[in-house]
Structure 1
């Protein structure tokens, strides 16, 4: 029993049933200990794939995802996936090999200070220098990853610690996670009093709803109060798409009904959201007439970007459950008529500005294809890459639960979709898992097709190919005077042939009339299958809130170059001083 064998048994004790990794020199003792263990190890083809797969596993299940790599380049290749987990609050434990303790600091082969390199993008890091530290370090790592606001934890394992005698160590016992404290009574009373005074209330819900296991409490709250509700990218599915109070996603590519409701409301009831720039647009003009009640399990988010008139920190389920009945009663009291008129206005806008799918011409219209696929696969888990297709999925897929929607929100990492789908499929082998990708994103981790084939993961891949970096091209069209710089992907390979070379069956569709048959064939196919979809290079995502504008100032093709306000759209590059206004291949969080 050496340190590596102890670690494997500890993983089993923590309930880990699958981990994703790639072996190498300094992590080799761990891989030796894996031989014959009950753990299912998935050999990816690049360490970034391991981090994103563990990420997808955790997002789909709510459990801790685990990835493994060796020192040096193996560890550094994990960094993007670790950062994505940190920014989207995904519970992960990352195991990396390290050179033996007696070589640390000598610039040894594949020595890298991964502990220091990842400090800004983890909840905590550990570098045990003795086998005796393993029980404390390992138990704390899993506890920290799960507790409070979830996130990634790194354990950097020197090779000699893995090889040291561990026969004297105790059997690993998982540590309990302390529950999030309940909300203060006084804050709940203040919140109820403020809501009673409003005429135009709106609920603004974010990813904290699912992180706090508050989806059911949130739905009951909205059902009882009937408050018009808008959702962030990460909250999609917190209310079913067809729910009568659901106005859709807000923000840069949000619905008109959602954005207009927020801009006109007099009370913003914020549940597990953080006023992210891609949701708020120009923050100084976001919900300008609204007073704010902010509920969040992470008290640090309250008041960070927008002052709250009433702060309600603590367990979201408890906060919502305790407020639901009193607020429902108040809805029938003072200002009831005004609130009903407001709700009617919001719902009328939702109907009037509903997406249309009758695009002219015979080419494939991506929004219509995605809407139809969501109808054919209503219970699918969708892992999405980053680009125009990410926003089309957010706008047109009808999600019934947030854990059906796996997307890189805050980091906006291209290459996320395929390995994340892989992780979700490993977590739930019988689930219908769909990866929606673009031709740019797909090439970033295309090697994971080999992993999907090896483990016979029945992931269905929808590849929307516009032969361009679509979102960057759209920004260059609108804000850089059509100076198209380095976005041409017209020399893409034949993706169907590439998939077949990996041993994965492939289909192709390029006509709108053939979309339904192609989607049915994709879903009926046995095993992993790719559907290559050729779409128009000039297709854009609408509506769009331009940089440095508020969410009421939306553009779409019908505006013919003007904003909703009638003002001309400024055709200028975004300010170089504001990083949040640059596309950077990232989209609204």
Structure 2
């Protein structure tokens, strides 16, 4: 079949069962958009307000479904506007294919209008990237991009296509997509025996589960492991929902803003089992935290083993496959004394609830939990509100908590929420935002309205860049340099200008009626939920401190 490059591109997307592309047109991709017009009954194009919004939407689409997200942008500034979204996906191992246009081949390298070396720019933040210089290579390149994005540790791949390639004719032969096999060639019998021996010998095992558990679909296997060896189980920010909060062995999030039970569990265990996690500085803080325990590391990426922490044994491969092969080798355990100790820490960590008329994050999430029972998809921006969402929302299923963990991208949540809603139109999607983060990409409210993808944004509004202000309070002697916002933005009027509806919540009795209406709305909703500017995230471990040196609210 003879097709032009743009048609070959779209046929290859159809091969990969792509139903939705998030993007923004421009001169270098005009031929692709002309083809999209012809293919509009087969591929939905979601026009965002900004290319960064398209990248975040593709990311949210991918994380909530497990499929590859696809975004599309023109050359030059269109391509560079994708960079933050690509880097976000790279840090959190999200499968994404970003397609960019470029100037025609004769103009490459001549500082042409809207020319940029996007493959050079994105080299450190992609698993791989391509520039297509021959139309006969285009189909193979697109297929390779999807394979690479999904294979092994998932991540983003960029394909840059000069404009003349999108117009040239070439031969297209349809092919079935290559099924990406689970990585298990390094899961050797020797490694399995070494790991199982350490687990069987331990009396105080502790599991630290990361985002790889969700990427590999291994939540059931993680639960089976924890139950068989009777191990307290914590989760990183990226694993929220990978182990249900309702399970009696769950100890909560681990790390800088982790629970008392999780942090002390990691400190006092005799065996730390890290699964699909990378020992981030926000979790481990200092390697001195791990000197008292043996360490096992299960990860699909060999580069992560011994990168941040020296381990005693490891299993390299897909987490689901690793756990399937490991669990039968383990002895059934009953660590009653150890579990009782963790239960005491869990109870102590809950603290004493204080009745107050003041609006708090705890009150907000208690109402959200009451009305959703953990069944909504929750996205977040980045900051204090993100930590409160991880601490207080009822995370019971994987792929329902979508947040920027590694890069910490302010402005991520609304675009990601739109991607989640497009992928899951029958699910309630809630974006938890801060007033600082929300201002960065609030223009995507227009996308939410135009695409009939209504999401509910709840702004935990403290009139400040709350997390930075919290650090200034703790570590900079209360020098609040440029973290009080004082912009006077009327978020209710703002969302109304975009065709949605807003609610101002300043008293407790206003919250539940606002949430009930918001959760049944067919237009974008913004709830401006006012909290005090000095409300802080607790508990907290200072950067570089030992993980048992936990700061509680009553300490301050």
- The TM tier, using the shorter chain, reads over 0.9
Q: Which residue of 2 aligns with 1:300?
A: 303
SS of 1:351's equivalent? helix
Deviation at 1:216, TM superposition (A): 1.6
Deviation at 1:195, TM superposition (A): 1.8
Q: Which residue of 1 aligns with 2:104?
A: 100
Are residue 508 (structure 1) and residue 485 (structure 2) matched? no
Distance 1:184 1:234 in 2: 27
SS of 2:541's equivalent? coil
Contact conserved, 1:123 with 1:144, CA < 8 A, in 2?
A: yes
Which of 257, 268, 291 pairs up with 2:261? 257
Q: Which residue of 2 aligns with 1:210?
A: 214
Q: Which moved more, 1:179-188 or 1:31-40?
A: 179-188
Deviation at 1:355, TM superposition (A): 5.5
Q: Which residue of 2 aligns with 1:316?
A: 319
Distance 1:76 1:95 in 2: 12
- CA deviations 1:293-337 (Å, max 9, x no partner) are 1111222211111111111112322322333244342x25xxxxx
Q: Which residue of 1 aligns with 2:35?
A: 33
Q: Which moved more, 1:285-294 or 1:432-441?
A: 285-294
Q: Which residue of 2 aligns with 1:423?
A: 419
Q: Which moved more, 1:133-142 or 1:514-523?
A: 514-523
Which of 368, 373, 388 pairs up with 1:373? 368
Distance 1:198 1:179 in 2: 29
Are residue 201 (structure 1) and residue 196 (structure 2) matched? no
Distance 1:178 1:508 in 2: 50
SS of 2:27's equivalent? coil
Contact conserved, 2:21 with 2:46, CA < 8 A, in 1?
A: yes
After superposition, the Cα gap between the structure-2 partners of 1:451 and 1:299, relative to the gap in structure 1 and judged at 3 Å, is: same
Deviation at 1:340, TM superposition (A): 1.7
Distance 1:383 1:318 in 2: 29
Contact conserved, 1:126 with 1:137, CA < 8 A, in 2?
A: yes
Q: Which residue of 2 aligns with 1:584?
A: none
Q: Which residue of 1 aligns with 2:146?
A: 142
- CA deviations 1:268-300 (Å, max 9, x no partner) are 111111110001112x22232100111112222
Are residue 20 (structure 1) and residue 15 (structure 2) matched? no
Q: Which residue of 2 aligns with 1:327?
A: 330
TM-score, scaled relative to structure 1 = 0.91
Are residue 520 (structure 1) and residue 516 (structure 2) matched? yes
Which of 288, 295, 301 pairs up with 1:285? 288
Are residue 127 (structure 1) and residue 131 (structure 2) matched? yes
Q: How does 1:319-468 map to 2 (within 5 A)?
A: 319-329=322-332, 331-332=333-334, 339-354=335-350, 358-377=353-372, 378-468=374-464
Q: Which residue of 2 aligns with 1:5?
A: 7
Deviation at 1:175, TM superposition (A): 2.3
Are residue 495 (structure 1) and residue 491 (structure 2) matched? yes
SS of 2:22's equivalent? strand
Deviation at 1:361, TM superposition (A): 3.3
Distance 2:81 2:317 in 1: 36
Deviation at 1:266, TM superposition (A): 0.9
Are residue 169 (structure 1) and residue 172 (structure 2) matched? yes
After superposition, the Cα gap between the structure-2 partners of 1:259 and 1:242, relative to the gap in structure 1 and judged at 3 Å, is: same
Which of 55, 59, 62 pairs up with 2:63? 59
Are residue 81 (structure 1) and residue 76 (structure 2) matched? no
Contact conserved, 1:4 with 1:162, CA < 8 A, in 2?
A: yes
Distance 2:383 2:175 in 1: 43
After superposition, the Cα gap between the structure-2 partners of 1:558 and 1:10, relative to the gap in structure 1 and judged at 3 Å, is: same
Contact conserved, 1:141 with 1:154, CA < 8 A, in 2?
A: yes
Unaligned runs of 5+ in 1: 333-338, 561-589
Distance 1:539 1:326 in 2: 48
Q: How many residues align?
A: 550
Q: Which moved more, 1:509-518 or 1:442-451?
A: 509-518
Distance 1:165 1:195 in 2: 59
Deviation at 1:3, TM superposition (A): 0.5
CA RMSD of aligned residues (A): 1.4
Deviation at 1:48, TM superposition (A): 0.4
Deviation at 1:172, TM superposition (A): 4.4
- CA deviations 1:111-166 (Å, max 9, x no partner) are 00001010000001110111011121111001000110000000001000000012
Runs of 4+ in structure 1 off by over 4 angstroms are none
